[in-house]
Amino acid sequence: MTSEYPKIVVKPPGPKARKMIEREKRVVSSGLGVKLFPVVPERGYGALIEDVDGNVFIDFLAGAAAASTGYAHPRLVKEVQEQVAKIQHSMIGYTYSKRAIEVAEILAERAPVDSPKILFGLSGSDALDLTMKVARFATRKPWIVAFIGAYHGQTYGATSIAAFQSSQKRGFSPLVPNVVWVPYPNPYRNVWGIDGYEEPDELINHFLDYMESYIFAHVVPPDETAVLIAEPIQGDAGIVVPPENFFVELKKLLDEHGILLAMDEVQTGIGRTGRWFASEWFGVRPDLVAFGKGVASGMGMSGVIGRGELMEMTSGSALLTPAANPVISAAAYATLRIIEEEDLLGNALRVGEFIQKRLREMQEEYEVIGDVRGKGLMIGAEIVKPDGKPDPELTGKICWRAFELGLILPSYGMFGNVIRITPPLVITEELAEKGVEIMETALKDALAGRVTHRTVTWH
């Protein structure tokens, strides 16, 4: 029964978790990742994670928004077990895969892309590499435009177009050349000082003028620009939702110059926002869409969906040996069917609306909550100081206290001050309500000075 959870049997991190953490430090590079929490999962079920010490947490992270169907979903488990017992690998680059074809058919049917074809990868990072290759090959143009605040990934290509934290690039140059970055139209905190909630059209017009009068006039020739790559909702930057008409107007400008629009839907896609793809919220049909994370419930599938005429590349130029192998394809097939047949899009909308409503009620009571935003189960709450500036210290303390109380609640954002809520799409309203209650308790404790630790985030 979910009413029993969360369940903290020993103050986390417990002794077994601490021992595993020390063991990892001796053999694993720090480059592997940013350890947001000292959690060592043993098993999971639904939207709950049990650690090696027996503590059970409500999970508002979903493994970087990837565990779309939660943990140990019976259908996912069955499909994967049955497939691995048949054949665990066949190289899609050399032979054909029934499961991969079935997954491609479903994705092609759901994607907001005209006459789509698909390439498969392993992670969001290489999906962005593939996106860059497709765009440059199809257009024979060298330049790429990307947004400040975009994460995109950690391969050389993805790192080259990302602009989330400058530390991502430190020590790795030279990177892929011919990339230029522009500010994202964040309605709450943008470089033009415009209230994008009150005046969305003004924010859009300022951005478009900036593109034409500065970027295309002085920085990069539009006729030599292959693609603009965007997250429909910026994820790691702090769940930043642009004005509703932004991408429609942007696409018009790009079409005038023959520039492709590629959407990085690695985090926003596959039901995360209550639509199959977040591009649908903005009424735009991209030329290319990158996907990953939740498509196989976190089990290592990604890819690019593009307009058919753009996807005719040199044979083997996008080949990755384990991509869309039979086991991962079985996981993806099960995930896509679960999302559809269990109406997880509807659940994301219902539970997401409930969470945002509760957060906005908290916003009325606590002035440190400067903004609440998101779509579906991709939600951010920005924590600020009295002058409106970011407050990463308080944010980290809120998240640490929530962890002690049994809630995995990460802090993200360009300034480390956004509480990120991206639980599995299967989360119930009952568990979500408990999670928000824990978050409010953690906020009260942090404000009262009762929290001495803070979570780690990107820096």
Is the pLDDT reported for residue 361 higher than 90? yes
15-63+343-448 is a CATH 3.90.1150.10 domain: yes
- Which is it for the CA torsion 63, 424, 164, 155, positive or negative? positive
Assign 330 a pLDDT band (cuts: 50, 70, 90).
very high
Phi–psi pair at 174, nearest 5 degrees? -80, 140
- The pLDDT of residue 48 is 98
Q: Average pLDDT, stretch 58-85?
A: 98
- Residue 34 pLDDT: 87
CA dihedral angle for residue 116, residue 293, residue 355, residue 247, rounded to 10 degrees: -40
Q: Which helix (H) or strand (E) holds 18?
A: helix 15-27
Q: How far apart are CA 67 and CA 424, in angstroms?
A: 6
Among 104-108, 398-402, 452-456, name the one with the lowest average pLDDT: 452-456
Dihedral (CA of 9, 11, 13, 18) sign: negative
Interval 23-47 mean pLDDT:
94
pLDDT of residue 1: 53
- Kindly indicate whether the domain formed by 74-342 is annotated with CATH number 3.40.640.10: yes
Residue 116 CA: distances (Å) to CA of 107, 287, 305, 310:
9, 9, 6, 9
The confidence score (pLDDT) of residue 29 equals 95
pLDDT at 383 over 70: yes
Across the range 354-377, mean pLDDT stands at 98
Predicted confidence (pLDDT) at residue 348 exceeds the cutoff of 90 = yes
Q: Residue 31: how many CB atoms within 10 A of its CB?
A: 6
For residues 122 and 332, what is the distance between their CA atoms, to the nearest angstrom? 12
Confidence of residue 33 (pLDDT cuts 50, 70, 90): confident
Residues constituting the chain = 459
Residues 61 and 55: beta-carbon distance below 8 Å: no
pLDDT at position 123 is: 97
* Residue 21: its H or E element: helix 15-27
Which two three-digit tokens encode residue 453?
């630790």
Q: Which of 116-120, 168-172, 221-225, 325-329 has the lowest mean pLDDT?
A: 168-172
CA distances in angstroms from 108 to 113, 290, 398, listed in the order given: 8, 12, 41
Q: Tens digits of per-residue pLDDT, 177-214?
A: 999 999 999 999 999 999 999 999 999 999 999 999 99
Contact indicator for 443, 398 with CB cutoff of 8 Å: yes
> Would the pLDDT of 2 be above 70?
no
| Contact predicate 236/417, CB 8 Å | no
Is residue 416 predicted with pLDDT exceeding 80? yes
Domain locations in the chain?
15-63+343-448, 74-342
At 459, is the pLDDT very low, low, confident or very high (cuts 50, 70, 90)?
A: low
The partner residues of 373 in beta bridges, in order of sequence, read 380
- What is the DSSP code (8-state) at residue 85? H
**What is the helix, strand, coil percentage profile of the chain, to 5?**
40, 15, 40
What residue type is 270 in one-letter code?
A: I
How would DSSP label each residue in 265-324? Answer: -TTTTTTTTSSSSGGGGGT---SEEEE-GGGGTTSS-EEEEEEGGG--PPTTTT--TTTT
Distance CA 270, CA 344 (A): 10
Residue 457 pLDDT grade (very low, low, confident, very high; cuts 50, 70, 90): confident
pLDDT at 456: 83
The rounded distance, in Å, linking the Cα atoms of 40 and 50 is 8
| Across 249-265, average pLDDT | 98
Q: Are 296 and 326 in contact (CB under 8 A)?
A: no
pTM of the model: 0.96
Q: 167 and 159 in contact (C-beta within 8 Å)? A: no
The percent of residues above 90 in pLDDT, for the chain, comes to 96
For the chain, give the percent of residues with pLDDT over 70: 99
What pLDDT, on a 0 to 100 scale, did the predictor assign at position 304? 98
What Rg, from alpha-carbon coordinates, does the chain have? Answer: 22
- Cα(181)–Cα(169) distance, integer angstroms: 14
Q: Are 178 and 143 in contact (CB under 8 A)?
A: yes
Residue 375: pLDDT above 80? yes
pLDDT at 3 over 80: no
Residue 352 backbone zone (phi > 0: left; psi -120 to 50: alpha; other: beta): alpha
What is the DSSP annotation of 239-260? Answer: -BPPPTTHHHHHHHHHHHTT-E
User: ∠120-121-124 over CA atoms, to 5°?
Assistant: 125
